[in-house]
Structures are given as structure tokens and as C-alpha cells.
């Protein structure tokens, strides 16, 4: 009786753990994101979904410095940063990444290895304090950055990667492409993006682009609000929430790692973007100014922090250098890296007020109605014909 029961116990345990053990062994060998080891029997690749892929890069790539931005820094060259700043940079920027998402990656990275320098973009997401982007739900990848290796296999337990495993596919959708980590997700070379640089005429030619239609909608909304006086009502709590958001997801990390040098860059959006805030959304403008002040003060106290801003410069007025009101051309990406290396465009407690005064003056002087009218002339005739 005891012997038979013992055998049945063994059968049950083998049936319970056998399939999982077989699946995990196969997934371990396939490992499309290099979460467990460097690729076996195939070249080094980088998956386009950097929220997933960064985990593998952090574990197995040789680097000591990182560019951790959003699409704003996806064109920034890690090679150029290495040449100008020293160290060995990789670009782990994640499209539409908010501070919370990047905080997960940053904490994991700093806990795993010493990091010399971090270049980080201060995108305007502090205005809404978003924690996770719906298009990439947090539960599909946040466990990769909790330093618990036992749950990492969850990244592969879905239809997509199990399908890839079934075919042992080396398709880019499964394992990524063979690209170096200079700027793996750079979009500047993609024809649809590159064709929109050059001025308003280029934006007009791209009247079917969702981004251009979004730009036009935002400009129209802003000019309408200015005309009717229906400005965004200020929300006193927004400033506090924005600063708490930056503190929780970024500056607390900076304070915890004094040996790592952080370069925080307020993205040089086109002047139209800042003008929308200052002229039609005073609440957002005030919050933005409060965050700039907070970080400038902090930069004066923390030796491992530098903050850069470009709102007092001329180039944001030049639409030709933007593919929409947010994203700038590769020369500006390079200018940012050079500015970091040369210590230019730094904002500190000493210069923050004149900097903000000049930024505000330029934003208020910008003719939003002109740009809106010119876009209306070329986009309105195509209304309803877009994708």
C-alpha cells in the first residue's frame, strides 16, 4: 500500500512539475530577450520593445553609463556621449516612457552595477504624473526589474513569445534586430519621420499623419481658448503632485547614488509647445516652472546632479527643426550631448529666475494664431480623409 502510494506521489509530482520544467528549460535556451544568458546560436539582437529588452541589456551588456530618455532621446548617440563624456554609454530610451516606468529600470540598473553617468530627459509627463502607459501595461514587464529572477520567465508566458518559441523563430518581432546599442530605437532615419523636418510645408505634406493632426488639434484648441478666454483653470495641487512625482521616481534615486553623475535635460520642445502652456494652460505653465525651480535648487545642492534647459535659446522658434511640436532633429540631440560635455545651458539656483523669465517672455511672444492659421490652410481641406 505504502509503496504504491509512494509511486503515485511521484507520478503526481512529475506530472505537475515535468511540463513546466520542460517548458522552462526550452524557454531558457531560446531566451529571445537575453534575460537569462547571452544568445545561444544566434547573433546579439535588440528587441524593439525596450521596456522588455532593457532588462536583458542591463544584465549582460558591457557598459557603465546610460541614456535613459523617451522618444526625445532615442536619436541621441551613445557613441558620441562616450566620446565626449568618457565611459561606455548605451541608449536604453523607451518610447513614451514616464518617470515611473523609467524609475523601475533606473533602480534596477543602479542596484545591479556601478554606473558612472546617466543622461535623462525631463519630459512633460510630470504634468499628469502618469504611472505606466496603457499601450504597454505595467504587469507585462514590471516584474523584470524587481530583482527576483524567479518571475522573469513570465515575460515569455504569453501567446507572442510562446509562438516564437514554437517556431524557434529569429524574426525581429521575436528576438529583435541586429543593431548596436548606439541608438537602437532611433527614429530619425525612418522616412515617415524624417520627411516632416524642414518647416511647416513639410508638416502640411504630412497632413495624414496622426502626429500632425494631433499637433493641429492642440494648436487649434489653444488658440480657441485664448480667443474666448476659456483658459485652463490652475490647480494648486498640481505643482505639489508634480514635484512629488519627480522626487519619488527620480530625485530620490539621484540622492541614493551620489557616485553616479546625473544629467537631467528639459527637452527643447518647439516654442509652440511652451507657448501653448504659457498662453492657454497657465496651470501647466506654472507647474512646469515649479519643477524647473525645484530641480535647479537641487542641482545646486547635489554635486552629482546637473540640469540643462534650452528654453532661452533661439532654435526652438525654428519649426524646420521639428517633426511635430515635441520632437527635434538629430543636430539638436547632438547639441544636447555637447552642452553636457562643455557645461553649457546648465540651470542652477543662481540663474534659474532669469532663465525662466526669458523662457516665459519668449513663449508669451510666440504667435500661436499664425502657426495655427497656416496649418489650418493646408490641413482643413484634407479633414476626414486621414487614417
Partner 1 sequence: MLFNSLEFILAFLPVTFFVYFWLNKKRLIVAGKSWLVLASLVFYAWWNVQYLPLILVSILVNFAIGSALARQAGDGARRGRLGAKWLLAAGIVFNLGLLGYYKYADFFLGNLGRVLDAPIEPLGIVLPLAISFFSFTQIAYLVDSYRGRAKEYDLLNYALFVTFFPHLIAGPIVHHGEIMPQFSAAANLVRRYRNVLLGLMLFSIGLAKKVLIADTFAVWATAGFDQADHLNFYEAWATSLSYTFQIYFDFSGYTDMALGAAMLFNIRMPVNFNSPYRATSIQDFWRRWHITLSRFLRDYLYIPLGGSRRGTGRVYANLLLTFVLGGLWHGATWMFVLWGALHGAAMVAHRLWQRLGVRMPALLAWLLTFNFINLTWIFFRAQSLEDALKVLRGMTGFDAMGRLGERFTAWAGLLDPQIEVGLALLGGLALALGWRNSNALLAGARPGLAGAAACGLLAAVSLLTLMASKYSEFIYFNF
Name the site residues for partner 1 (rule: CB under 8 A).
Answer: 1-2, 5-6, 8-9, 11-20, 23, 139, 150-151, 153-154, 157-158
Residues ≥6 apart with Cβ < 8 Å to 306? 261, 262, 263, 264, 299, 340, 343, 346
Closest contact distance (angstroms) between CB of 30 and partner 1 is 16
Instruction: Please identify, using beta-carbon distances, which residue of 13 and 364 lies nearer to partner 1.
Output: 13
For residue 235, how far is the Cα from the chain centroid?
Answer: 26
Based on DSSP, count helices (H) and strands (E) in the chain, helices before strands. 16, 5
Closest contact distance (angstroms) between CB of 136 and partner 1 is 15
Instruction: Please identify, using beta-carbon distances, which residue of 153 and 222 lies nearer to partner 1.
Output: 153
Instruction: Please identify, using beta-carbon distances, which residue of 62 and 150 lies nearer to partner 1.
Output: 150
Closest contact distance (angstroms) between CB of 32 and partner 1 is 16
* Structural contact between residues 105 and 145, judged by C-beta atoms closer than 8 angstroms: yes
For residue 329, how far is the Cα from the chain centroid?
Answer: 16
Instruction: Please identify, using beta-carbon distances, which residue of 12 and 111 lies nearer to partner 1.
Output: 12
Scan for cell 501567446, then name that residue: 159
Residues ≥6 apart with Cβ < 8 Å to 266? 122, 292, 307, 308, 309, 310, 311, 347
Closest contact distance (angstroms) between CB of 236 and partner 1 is 21
Instruction: Please identify, using beta-carbon distances, which residue of 61 and 142 lies nearer to partner 1.
Output: 142
Instruction: Please identify, using beta-carbon distances, which residue of 8 and 365 lies nearer to partner 1.
Output: 8
Half-sphere exposure of 325 (CA within 13 A, CB side): 21
At how many degrees (to 10) do helices 236-246 and 99-112 cross? 20
- Closest C-alpha among 236, 219, 214, 220 to residue 282: 236
- d(C-alpha 116, C-alpha 110), whole Å: 10
Instruction: Please identify, using beta-carbon distances, which residue of 146 and 358 lies nearer to partner 1.
Output: 146
Amino acid at each position: 500500500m505504502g509503496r504504491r502510494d509512494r509511486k503515485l506521489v511521484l507520478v503526481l509530482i512529475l506530472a505537475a512539475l515535468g511540463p513546466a520544467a520542460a517548458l522552462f528549460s526550452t524557454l531558457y535556451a531560446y531566451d529571445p530577450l537575453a534575460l537569462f544568458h547571452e544568445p545561444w546560436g544566434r547573433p546579439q539582437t535588440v528587441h524593439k520593445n525596450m521596456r522588455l529588452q532593457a532588462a536583458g541589456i542591463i544584465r549582460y551588456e558591457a557598459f557603465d553609463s546610460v541614456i535613459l530618455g523617451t522618444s526625445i532621446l532615442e536619436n541621441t548617440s551613445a557613441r558620441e556621449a562616450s566620446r565626449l563624456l568618457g565611459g561606455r554609454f548605451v541608449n536604453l530610451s523607451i518610447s513614451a516612457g514616464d518617470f515611473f516606468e523609467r524609475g523601475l529600470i533606473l533602480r534596477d540598473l543602479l542596484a545591479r552595477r556601478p554606473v558612472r553617468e546617466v543622461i535623462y530627459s525631463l519630459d512633460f509627463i510630470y504634468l499628469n504624473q502618469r504611472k505606466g502607459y496603457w499601450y504597454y501595461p505595467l504587469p507585462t514587464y514590471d516584474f523584470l526589474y524587481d530583482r527576483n529572477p524567479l518571475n522573469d520567465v513570465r515575460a515569455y508566458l504569453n501567446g507572442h513569445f510562446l509562438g516564437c518559441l514554437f517556431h524557434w523563430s529569429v524574426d525581429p518581432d521575436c528576438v529583435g534586430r541586429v543593431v548596436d546599442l548606439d541608438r537602437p530605437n532611433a527614429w530619425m532615419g525612418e522616412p515617415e519621420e524624417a520627411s516632416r523636418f524642414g518647416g511647416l510645408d513639410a508638416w502640411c505634406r504630412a497632413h495624414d499623419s496622426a502626429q500632425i493632426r494631433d499637433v493641429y488639434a492642440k494648436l487649434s484648441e489653444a488658440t480657441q481658448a485664448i480667443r474666448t478666454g476659456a483658459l485652463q483653470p490652475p490647480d494648486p495641487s498640481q505643482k505639489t503632485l508634480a514635484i512629488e512625482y519627480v522626487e519619488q521616481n527620480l530625485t530620490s534615486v539621484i540622492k541614493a547614488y551620489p557616485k553616479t553623475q546625473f544629467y537631467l535635460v528639459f527637452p527643447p520642445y518647439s516654442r509652440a509647445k511652451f507657448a501653448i502652456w504659457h498662453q492657454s494652460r497657465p496651470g501647466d505653465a506654472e507647474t512646469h516652472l515649479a519643477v524647473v525651480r525645484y530641480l535647479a535648487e537641487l542641482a545646486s545642492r547635489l554635486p552629482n546632479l546637473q540640469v540643462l534647459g534650452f528654453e532661452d535659446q533661439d532654435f526652438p522658434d525654428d519649426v524646420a527643426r521639428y517633426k511635430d511640436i515635441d520632437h527635434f532633429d538629430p543636430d539638436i540631440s547632438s547639441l544636447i550631448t555637447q552642452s553636457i560635455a562643455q557645461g553649457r545651458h546648465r540651470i542652477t539656483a543662481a540663474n534659474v529666475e532669469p532663465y525662466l523669465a526669458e523662457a516665459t517672455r519668449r513663449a508669451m511672444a510666440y504667435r500661436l494664431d499664425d502657426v495655427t492659421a497656416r496649418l489650418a490652410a493646408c490641413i482643413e481641406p484634407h479633414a476626414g480623409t486621414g487614417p
